[in-house]
Chain A
Amino acid sequence: MENVLVVDNNPVLLKYMDSFLSKMGYSVRSAENGLIALDLIENYKPDIIFVDLIMPYIRGDQLVAILRGREELADASIIIISGVAAEVELDYLAMGADACIAKSPFNSMGKHISFILNQIRQNGTKKQYVPVIGLEDVYKRAITQELIISNNHLKLVLDSISDCIVELSPEYRIVAVNNSVLGFLRKERREILAKNLLTEVHPLWKQNLEEYLDQIKDRKNPSHIELFREKEYYSVKAEYLESSNGDSIVVIISDISLQKQREENLKDKVNEKELMVKEVYHRVKNNLAIVSSIINLQMSDTSSETEIEVLNDLRSRIDSISMVHSKLFKGKDLNRINLDDYLTDLVGHLIDSLIHDNKRISAEISLGDINIDVNKAVPLGIVMTELTTNAIKYAFKDMESGVITISYKIKGDEIEIIFSDNGNGLPDDFSLETAESLGVNLVLSLVMQLEGTINFENDKGARFIINLPPLD
């Protein structure tokens, strides 16, 4: 008894073919789509195969190409049985089929099937039959024609896209691909259709791709993944499509090597620039250190206490600027430094360099996690240098110890920095506006430069309150 396989997604037609062909003495097996058909023929060798053209999960023409490529089916007759035959001219011989029967009412279609099967019995399986049989029994349907034209347009567009587009069954078996996929996988279409995508891609992709597709299948909607193959980078994006004819997953694989290369070049350039900027900071810091050393030398060359004091103040101011550049050179951010870290070092350095007796002055600095722009750090650093120097020099006269405190408060959009000491307090006649010292004038002009305000009060020592706009 000859074996017949019928592949069609129409259950009524499958049932008809089963009854009709069984009565003719054939052993009949049915498959609802191409994937099922290919699974069936793993353990079953049909002599005659009927294939519909429009089916979910592998189009009929592609299924014919796969079947024709199978060595064990070399002698099998493949007959296309399709309604499309009435709408478009089908070159079914080029597809690899031996005959084509137009789908029509079963009474006439049955006669055409009988005719072809009898011919095969008489002439053997190798004979091909032209033209399409049964066209006289069907009429062209405009809507179907429109659908076919629309599908052809879509195919043309998809095949001209450089991205790889793969349609998968929910089990990740490849059911359709555009032309770019063939180049990407370096295989023929018939070699990859019905195969599991995970077995066809680069072995290094398998695990990540499987995890990604599992998430797509579970509707977790991950955005995309990036995968690497032979010095090439790819972006893989997939979408789950629900359909009454069978769900599928559409996978788009895009070559992003060029984009990655550009990103790498950009990163290199940014790194190069960062290195250059850091080098500049480093050199500014070193040059300021040289200036500070020269002042130091100048100090040792004079015995005038007034000159020493002036030079010392000058050196402190330069050190405060140098320290900003040192922080920038050592830090990760090229434009901003941490204020707490900076002022802790700065005030500590001033205490160490200005206290030459046994007086114990300590600093309590609590500025949270405020980061400050370099353009604001330098003037604020000099302001703090002036206030600290002033406190060390005058606040703790006749005292054995003292504490300098720097804290902050956020007030709406502004930041309030409070500099205080627990010393003797400011003189009763002290006024920022009338003070003539260079230090006070520097403080006033630099606070103004920072678009802030400064006030003072005596409260168990001196207290300066500086209100500033945001520092970053």
Chain B
Amino acid sequence: MGLYSLEDLALEIEFDVEDFKPLLQLFVDTTRDDLDKIRLAALKEEPQAVSTAVHNIRGSSLNLGLVVISGMTEHLSRLNKNESFTDIENIIRECEAELSDLEKLVE
């Protein structure tokens, strides 16, 4: 982590820090849900379902300028395309660690 500060992220989209906090928390929550969906879809080996959830995370992370997570979604997409479902779990864990760091910013 260490790439972001709450102030920088809020400033990036011209939001006050206080206005930005609930937005970031919402991103963390919805992304965790999407990661769970990816985990389940990877277990079932359903590439379409993986792709949909990855698409959601990528869109939101790009919107918020969260380039690290956005980069991870690129990686997830490639693994999904190659149907390397077992490797997807590692990236999910990296994403979850990143989300925990972001959540600390909100707290």
Interface residues of A (CB under 8 A from B): 10-13, 15-16, 19, 83, 103-107, 109-110, 138, 141, 143-144, 147, 243-245
Contact = CB atoms under 8 A, between A and B. Distances in A.
A293 to B, nearest CB: 80
Contacts of B77: 143
User: SS class of chain A's interface: helix, strand, loop or mixed?
Assistant: helix
Interface in B28-69: 30, 37, 41, 49, 51-53, 55-56, 58-60, 62-65
B60 A12 contact: yes
Contact of A11 (B12, B14, B30, B58): B30
Contacts of B58: 141
A243 B12 contact: no
A105 B23 contact: no
Given A143-B81, A147-B51, A106 B65 contact: yes
Main secondary structure of the interface of B (DSSP, over half): helix
Interface residues of B, number: 27
A109 B63 contact: yes
Nearest to A82: B59
Nearest to B36: A244
Contacts of B55: 144, 147
22 contacts: A10-B59, A11-B26, A11-B30, A12-B23, A12-B26, A13-B59, A13-B63, A15-B22, A15-B23, A15-B26, A16-B23, A19-B15, A19-B23, A104-B63, A107-B12, A109-B63, A143-B51, A143-B77, A143-B81, A144-B55, A147-B55, A245-B52
Contact of B64 (A105, A144, A243, A244): A105
Nearest to B63: A106
A201 to B, nearest CB: 30
Given A12-B26, A244-B53, A83 B14 contact: no
B13 interface: yes
Nearest to A137: B62
